[in-house]
Amino acid sequence: MRRMQRKLTAYMKDNFSSQSDKYAQFRPTYPDALYTYLLSIVPARDDAWDCGTGNGQVAQVLAKSFKKVAATDISRQQIENAFMHERIEYSVQPAENTSFPDNSFDLITVAQAIHWFDFDAFYKEVIRTIRNKGVLAVIGYGLIQLSPSVDRVMAAFYRDVVGPYWDKERKYIDDNYRTIPFPFDETTSPSFENALEWTFQHLIGYIGTWSAVKHYQKATGNHPVDLVYDDLKKAWGDSETCTGRLPILLRVAHIGK
């Protein structure tokens, strides 16, 4: 068992332990309507597991409705910067190989993280730990859309500047999670997006958390955001804030009879 856990931990990529405080500060949230929908389809609201929890942003919302929330991540630094709540129990362990008993959870969520997982091993763990008719919700988000001028600069930066530095798993997000293996009878779910009111500095902070930006810095010793800062600022204009649209990626399944 320990050999398996070491192997799985080695397989999984930890791109988010560095600057984990920035991740908590600048990464976008998910809309209330998404949580309302998930609560409407779960069989019970006793136990939830948020795997790949990061800073616990999903776990803290689930804790408002569930009696207990288990939140796991392979990054101790992320968990040390997570939102604390009396009903959340954080632990450092891979999503593919946990210490949870069988049939533990009514809802399992994985937000902006499944593309890093060993799919087969994770789904086996989902089947083992979920309760009958429990819900698996795979959640994510694409590129924020702010304005035509800002979006053009962002797209060029994403594709041409840091594009070569994205991990291969990023393609799953570019494909809106439609190409991830999903060996369950999928539940048809509504479409969601989030409206976010951001300042220019929040946008810069968010870009700085991208894994490709970190890879670029490590490879070159330079910060790629410096290359695009002036163009982004010009495209942004004089407004203090801008309302962005964040498309939400979602795949849902009820598991069991």
In this predicted structure, what is the pLDDT of residue 181? Answer: 96
Predicted model pTM? 0.88
Q: What confidence score (pLDDT) does residue 257 get?
A: 61
pLDDT score of 18 more than 50:
no
Q: How many residues does the chain have?
A: 257
With both helix axes pointing from N to C terminus, report the angle between 225-236 and 200-207 in degrees, rounded to the nearest 10: 150
Per CATH, domain 2-255 is 3.40.50.150: yes
What does the alpha-carbon distance between residue 202 and residue 158 come to, in Å, rounded to a whole number? 17
Q: H helices of 131-245, where? A: 148-156, 170-174, 200-207, 211-220, 225-236
3 state DSSP class of 196 = strand
Q: What is the pLDDT of residues 72-107, one digit of tens each?
A: 999 998 898 888 999 999 999 999 999 999 999 999
Q: In whole angstroms, what is the distance from residue 105 CA to residue 26 CA?
A: 30
Q: What is the pLDDT of residues 133-178, one digit of tens each?
A: 999 999 999 999 999 999 999 999 999 999 999 999 999 999 999 9
* Residue 195 φ/ψ region, left for φ over 0, alpha for ψ in the -120 to 50 degree band, beta for the rest: beta
